Structure 1
Amino acid sequence: MEAVIMERFISEGKGNGLRALREIKPGEVIYSCEPFAFCVARDFLKTACQSCLKRGESLSRCSQCKTARYCNVQCQKQAWPDHKRECKCLKHLQPRIPTDSVRLVARIIFKLLSQSESDQEELYSIAEHQSHLADMSEEKTEGLKHLCTTLQVYLAEENCDLSRLPSGLDPVSLLARVTCNCFSISDGELQDVGVGLYPSMSLLNHDCQPNCIMMFEGKRLTLRAVRVIRSAEELTISYTDILAPSKDRRSQHWDELLKESQALLHRHSDVVPDRNIYMLRLLDLAMDACISLDDYETALEYGNRALGPYKLYFSDPHPSRAVELLRVGKLQHFLGRLEEARGSFTQAYSIMSVTHGAAHALTNQVQRRLSECQAELNTL
């Protein structure tokens, strides 16, 4: 068992928090865990494996609920303990599919009622999570009540005895806790493919210049240091991603999107700099559209324009900048700009070795690309 290098404490002005028990170096793993419960995001139900969260276009579908999908039989068997009860619920509601929060809370309820596992080894239990019900507006409270009604309809097929839930963890309270404390589970390219509850990680407070970053490999969460953290210093993460709207890289009407984004870029480029957050989002969208339409030269132009603002908003080491460098590097490599590609891959690897770790699949991909690029340069 790995030595614990963090502890729970009361952070002045913030309430609960986590702090380091010793000095921690950049790139060092502080904590790693599986979720107490998780589910695939509704937008990815057809393309993400219910077990490992890997994405694919030809996943096998559950023969009963027709909703859950898997890479193979092994993934299906591994997922069955968590899926067997929700399977009936999904089948009962077909073709309707509840929201992510409803499906996640249902999984939490199944787990709490089964008593086969508990979160008592966590630094922070589900019962201790804040629901903030008393602070919610009337509109949000009404929204929770509607979600609770959906949850009850969803659970009807399983005949759950909700009176057996631990004290204080009624459906409305659980929905409120999940809303405040769950995390989006992102893949290597920072797309949010799932949502999960990681009780101890809910203790982390926000900082605009955080000293930690959370990365995922499948559904496993790893907390890493991104700079030197002193002993007794509070561990912090950033709750926000200023470019979140531009991370929606699913299928679009790419011709229309490119036309509209280019028109806006041309109209405002003389008076609004690329570092403007809205211009940067447009550059990202235009780049995506060009890649999808196989116009790689133009895509690279937009990608190169975006790199400067990315460095401004995502100071190193930050995974968002690393992913953007990887995307630009792939375009440079494909177009035969080997020196430029080597530079982009080198920068991406330098960041990812800290944020993702040397063993992460995306870090290994960057390393392979860098080796290929170097081998091609050696033959010239």
Structure 2
Amino acid sequence: MKEGDVIFESEVFSHVINPDIASQVVYYCDKRCQAGGWGAHKVECNFISSVKPHVPPPTGRHVIRTLIRLKQGGDKEYEVLPDGSHRMFDTLMTHEEDIKKDSVRVEAFAYYLKMVQMCFGDSSYTADFVFKVFCRLMINSVEINDNMFRSIGTGLYLNLRNAFFRIIFI
């Protein structure tokens, strides 16, 4: 392996980029990402507009974006792992019982569930289904950094084997 070699590459399943100063809500890294994200953002945008001047927190937006992705066929998408097996969203670990014991995360979930209900309507998703999505995001998402290693968002990649990993630069 030499300097500059790509050691890992994956398409993001769902993500949220931290807001920029101008929009305070949605930011895209470039025009290609903006065009690719429009399908999910048009649903999200209606919700964001309805709660102005409030700005929905990134984790709540990530839950909403993931639900949109699942509804648009993401529930059937998979990544092939190095061992040849397939990983889908619903096969990701949830650690539900551990999260249920964490009062801070339970309180956060209650808030995000209200956001989901405001965005999609009260009867669109069961609380149990949204909780499983929330748990999968809490356990399997990773920080997205720019080229200066500043945190710019959070993403979920189906083909990461573990939630924690380290990249060493030599």
Which band: TM-score by shorter chain? Answer: 0.7 to 0.9
Distance verdict in 2 for CA 1:125–1:98, change over 3 Å: same
The answer for unaligned runs of 5 or more in structure 2 is 82-86
Work out whether residues 75 and 89 of structure 2, in 8 Å CA contact, stay in contact via their aligned partners in 1.
Answer: no
Deviation at 1:196, TM superposition (A): 0.3
1:176 aligns with 2:145: no
Aligned counterpart for 2:146 among listed residues 187, 193, 216: 187
Aligned ranges 1:356-371 → 2 under 5 Å: none
Could you say which residue in structure 1 is the equivalent of 2:113?
152
Counterparts of 1:157 and 1:131 in 2: how far apart (Å)?
23
Aligned counterpart for 1:39 among listed residues 4, 16, 25: 16
More helix by share: 1
Q: Deviations over 1:55-108 (max 9, x none)?
A: xxxx6x4xxxx7324688776444311211111111122222233222111111
The answer for unaligned runs of 5 or more in structure 1 is 1-24, 48-58, 164-168, 207-236, 240-316, 319-350, 352-380
Work out whether residues 98 and 150 of structure 1, in 8 Å CA contact, stay in contact via their aligned partners in 2.
Answer: no
Could you say which residue in structure 2 is the equivalent of 1:372?
none
- Whose RCO is larger (CA < 8 A, sep 6+)? 2
Counterparts of 2:166 and 2:131 in 1: how far apart (Å)?
28
Work out whether residues 39 and 195 of structure 1, in 8 Å CA contact, stay in contact via their aligned partners in 2.
Answer: yes
Deviation at 1:30, TM superposition (A): 3.8
1:238 aligns with 2:169: no
Deviation at 1:36, TM superposition (A): 0.2
Deviation at 1:122, TM superposition (A): 4.0
Could you say which residue in structure 1 is the equivalent of 2:92?
129
Deviation at 1:129, TM superposition (A): 1.6
Aligned counterpart for 1:110 among listed residues 68, 72, 87: 68
Identity over aligned residues, as a percent? 20
Work out whether residues 131 and 177 of structure 1, in 8 Å CA contact, stay in contact via their aligned partners in 2.
Answer: yes
Counterparts of 1:182 and 1:68 in 2: how far apart (Å)?
19
TM-score normalized by the length of structure 1: 0.37
- Residue identity matched to 1:126: F
Counterparts of 1:30 and 1:71 in 2: how far apart (Å)?
22
- Residue identity matched to 1:157: C
Work out whether residues 78 and 89 of structure 2, in 8 Å CA contact, stay in contact via their aligned partners in 1.
Answer: no
Counterparts of 1:38 and 1:136 in 2: how far apart (Å)?
21
Work out whether residues 99 and 106 of structure 2, in 8 Å CA contact, stay in contact via their aligned partners in 1.
Answer: no
Distance verdict in 2 for CA 1:238–1:186, change over 3 Å: same
Q: Deviations over 1:24-80 (max 9, x none)?
A: x35543431120011112xxx124xxxxxxxxxxx6x4xxxx732468877644431
Counterparts of 1:196 and 1:88 in 2: how far apart (Å)?
22
Aligned counterpart for 1:90 among listed residues 38, 42, 48: 48
Q: CA RMSD in A?
A: 3.1
Aligned positions, number: 162
Work out whether residues 36 and 198 of structure 1, in 8 Å CA contact, stay in contact via their aligned partners in 2.
Answer: yes
Work out whether residues 79 and 159 of structure 2, in 8 Å CA contact, stay in contact via their aligned partners in 1.
Answer: no
Counterparts of 2:98 and 2:74 in 1: how far apart (Å)?
34
Counterparts of 1:116 and 1:176 in 2: how far apart (Å)?
17
Distance verdict in 2 for CA 1:26–1:100, change over 3 Å: same
Distance verdict in 2 for CA 1:137–1:170, change over 3 Å: closer
- Residue identity matched to 1:80: W
Work out whether residues 144 and 176 of structure 1, in 8 Å CA contact, stay in contact via their aligned partners in 2.
Answer: no
Aligned ranges 1:1-380 → 2 under 5 Å: 25-27=1-3, 28-41=5-18, 45-47=19-21, 61=23, 67-69=25-27, 76-115=34-73, 118-123=76-81, 124-136=87-99, 138=101, 140=102, 142-155=103-116, 156-159=118-121, 161-162=124-125, 170-201=129-160, 203-204=161-162, 237-238=165-166, 318=169, 351=170
